[in-house]
Amino acid sequence: MQIAVVVQTEEEETTAPKEEEKVVPPYGTVEWIYYWSEFEGHLPTPIDVSITGSLKYSCPELKWYNFDVYPHKVKMTNTGYTLLIGAKWKTERPYLEGGPFLSKHILSQIHFHWGPDMMDGSDHTIDKRRYPGEMQVTFFRSEYMTQEEALRHDDGVVMICYLIKYGVNPDDRLSWVIEGFPRVQEAQTSTRIGPYPMSRLLPMFFEDYFLYWGSLSTVRGEKFTVRWLVPRITLFASFDQMKAFRKLWDPWDEPNRGNNRPLQEREDRHVFFISPHWSQYNSLLPIPRVPEPSISVLSPAYEANYWMLPPQNAYMIPQPEEEKTEEEKKE
């Protein structure tokens, strides 16, 4: 019996395809967080978030730029499915840097979730508990220029999800938004509100928040990979404030009783607890008695060109020092 022996030539050896080995970034780096998007970005959302079972992870401080700058206009739209807020600036938009980001992420839009009563409404649950509502703020990576393009990339879009707790008193941060609800009661209607800077609405934080990867599904059946950030600080709303959301109409001219999504299994995905600081007895922090001051700063572009600031922000422009008199100089 003859045995055929196949001999690989030197030329074939050099042209044989080589599998690229996936390099795992070092643990403790921001790149290590990005690494998990490939394995967990397709998993469904929302999920339950809790300190229990989360992975404590240190990141640089999250920096907020231009959130005190007044926009040119703020537009609010009742889409029939959610309440959408968008704003336009004549110059540079608010953006985030640092934290778990490798580059600048620009503010895109804000929308809300709510439910039929004060016991149901939030997309996420915290320690297995639902809250009356949730405000989700979309940011996109600046290199991609638009949110639509950013959604095509796994590292393109970040969603910050603020839980809305029940509060005996109305939340002033929501009041200027809710004042415009009567003008957008019908679906597919819009109005202008404010304009006020985004720091008037968004609680800012630089540490103490959760992060995980998961997919965002659209009404068209598309799925995109998104990073979800859930800060421990929250908004709050009175009974009447949440009732105002349920008076908005859906596309069939009926009150929109709720638009929150069904809860999904966490599965084996990582939930990062970024730079924890405050008491870790509860996953959410208590409602502050005094509103937290803004931690937003002006971007280098504004500091180099103060003429770019709108008139409402004139107080941010440094005033020239008055020349001292001869007597003051002698003293």
Between these two residues, 172 and 21, which has the higher pLDDT value? 172
Read off φ and ψ for residue 318, nearest 5 degrees: -60, 135
What average pLDDT does range 222-227 have in this prediction? Answer: 95
Q: In this model, does residue 266 exceed pLDDT 60? A: yes
The pLDDT confidence band at residue 288, using thresholds 50, 70 and 90, is confident
Q: Are strands 223-231 and 157-166 parallel, antiparallel or unpaired?
A: parallel
pLDDT digits (tens, 9 = 90+) for 182-194: 999 999 999 999 9
User: Which domains are present in the chain?
Assistant: 25-300 (3.10.200.10)
The percentage of residues in the chain with a pLDDT greater than 90, rounded to a whole number, is 84
- The closest alpha carbon to 274, from 37, 28, 5, belongs to 28
Q: What is the pTM of this model?
A: 0.90
The rounded mean pLDDT for the chain is: 92
